[in-house]
Structure 1
């Protein structure tokens, strides 16, 4: 009995699907074998591999450690946002109703996150307690200080440029005698944080290049040690892609292991410093706690290290494999 056209079509589809599936399965198995082979190559020379991984881990731990330092410094300086507070000295003839209305209007502004009212009496008491001239100030007949509104801008208007524009707007309010902000301190604060961030980025780039060079040189030596084996494999028809694969996986493993060890080094250092930092913060009546690399940051570090290991291996293998030809 001759099979129908539909039956032949379905059979061809099943055969094709089976062939594609088997090829995918074979490809996965091959990559799994090469991945394990790349890891086993590291264990063939455990001492030299461990030294290489340790150097890579230290190179990665340095920018990661500076990142942790900067993150904790930003946490400590979160209270420095008060440096961008704007003091509005009100005109002396304002009534309490006018002051309350002005406070409500400022609180409703999208550029301002908080407004605090300091009366002239509160200002005088604070000045007496902090200035050291309390006895002399009691001799004054009238309170020379005005009522003050302390305005805290939102994060979007805390930068020096935005703060300067906001000060100009507040100065134009009729009820305000003087709007004051120490922009020099704000500029210094943002400049210091910007320099620290750029320094961490530059250090990360430089040490990332060092990781690339170390992995590339390590893979180059591994290729030279297997030069005769590669020549024989090429004689029997192996392609460059087939020969390249285990070396790429070796670079991948170098990156993964170096990333894990660097994460351990950074968080171990943070754990070692946590108690002294907590004691120091307690002396200043602060609840600050030192924090290390979080889960997401650890994954980013390991992924970054893995990418560098794979890239360094690929750059080295691609050039040196082509130079080896069977004789």
Structure 2
């Protein structure tokens, strides 16, 4: 029994020794990670505090970044609103088929069923020429003049609504050609030409906005880079001391990278505020103008995802500008 107790005691002590060894080996790793994160927090706070100590210069940099970011984003929002309206117009566009004068009402009804059976067609509406004449008489105010007509000059009309896959491009042209060759159809009319021109214009403007966005993004990176370069020159002595005591490149560049991040975040916030103020200022006149033209056009603001992407892009631009400046100018600072 004593031998068993001794063996169990030895096995228990060995297991506890293993656990203590594992704890000792894991403790330095945890301490290193905690020290690393603590240093990052300290450097981030110190970088933000330095920017707040010079509020005028920091605000000027944030404003420049905000304007440069808000301009292309605002143009993209305007283009998105225009494309949404044109898409609504295109989806509501219908093809008008004017039937020949000799086509009777019964034949027009049969032709409506024939056209409605085609796969490119979603819906067909028949407008009787007598009903069309009465509607024109009521809306035009020319009822007395129409009484002098010997007969009804209006033809039966079919209003064809195409399916979504046939509302633009080559599919629409193919459908129009087939409808023009239909027996009893005298004329086919569709008003998609101006929509196609509008689509081409919006595509061109979209590419122009993206080109402008790229140029302004480069300008933002250069502005941040120049600002960080000035910060590096003003802290040259600190950098030299840090290198003399064995500071690594990552240790030396870390404060400037966080400075770039703070610049980017501030610029993104300024851009968001500028966009919201501009949309608020323009929303009233835009709604009144759209109401005069009976349009549902409106300026849509940034969504939650769009706001997050704006701030994230600004932070990335700030970090990238700082990294380029640090990469270029810190290498030139070496202790003599």
| One of 99, 114, 117 as aligned partner of 1:102 | 114
TM-score with structure 1 length normalisation? 0.85
Q: Tell me, yes or no, if structure 1 residue 266 matches structure 2 residue 275.
A: yes
Q: Which residue of the partner structure matches residue 242 of structure 1?
A: 251
TM-score with structure 2 length normalisation? 0.83
Task: Report the CA distance between 1:104 and its aligned residue.
Answer: 4.4
Answer with 1 or 2: which has the greater Rg.
Answer: 2
What are the Cα deviations for residues 13-49 of structure 1, in whole angstroms up to 9, with x where unaligned?
Answer: 4444444333332222222112112212212321111
Q: Is the 8 A contact 2:228 2:326 kept in 1?
A: yes
| One of 51, 55, 64 as aligned partner of 1:46 | 55
Task: Report the CA distance between 1:215 and its aligned residue.
Answer: 0.8
Q: Which residue of the partner structure matches residue 224 of structure 1?
A: 233
| One of 100, 115, 119 as aligned partner of 2:128 | 119
Instruction: Give the secondary-structure state (helix, strand or coil) at the position aligned to 1:95.
Output: helix
Q: Which residue of the partner structure matches residue 297 of structure 1?
A: 306
Paired with 2:34 and 2:164, the residues of 1 have a C-alpha distance of 53
Q: Which residue of the partner structure matches residue 21 of structure 1?
A: 30
Paired with 2:180 and 2:18, the residues of 1 have a C-alpha distance of 82
Do the aligned partners of residues 172 and 47 (structure 1) sit closer, same or farther apart at CA in structure 2, a change above 3 Å counting?
Answer: same
Deviates more, 1:132-141 or 1:31-40: 132-141
Q: Which residue of the partner structure matches residue 201 of structure 1?
A: 210
Paired with 1:35 and 1:138, the residues of 2 have a C-alpha distance of 86
Paired with 1:5 and 1:226, the residues of 2 have a C-alpha distance of 55
Q: Which residue of the partner structure matches residue 5 of structure 2?
A: none
Paired with 2:204 and 2:323, the residues of 1 have a C-alpha distance of 34
What are the Cα deviations for residues 123-165 of structure 1, in whole angstroms up to 9, with x where unaligned?
Answer: 4456667889766655443334333222333444333333213
Deviates more, 1:217-226 or 1:131-140: 131-140
Q: Which residue of the partner structure matches residue 221 of structure 2?
A: 212
Q: Which residue of the partner structure matches residue 279 of structure 1?
A: 288
Q: Which residue of the partner structure matches residue 76 of structure 2?
A: 67
Paired with 2:45 and 2:288, the residues of 1 have a C-alpha distance of 47
Task: Report the CA distance between 1:9 and its aligned residue.
Answer: 5.0
Task: Report the CA distance between 1:6 and its aligned residue.
Answer: 5.5
Q: Which residue of the partner structure matches residue 325 of structure 1?
A: 334
Q: Which residue of the partner structure matches residue 316 of structure 2?
A: 307
* 1:138-177 to 2 correspondences below 5 Å: 138-174=147-183, 176-177=185-186
Do the aligned partners of residues 119 and 278 (structure 1) sit closer, same or farther apart at CA in structure 2, a change above 3 Å counting?
Answer: same
Q: Which residue of the partner structure matches residue 6 of structure 2?
A: none
Instruction: Give the secondary-structure state (helix, strand or coil) at the position aligned to 2:300.
Output: coil
Q: CA RMSD in A?
A: 3.0
Unaligned runs of 5+ in 1: none
Q: Is the 8 A contact 2:83 2:199 kept in 1?
A: no
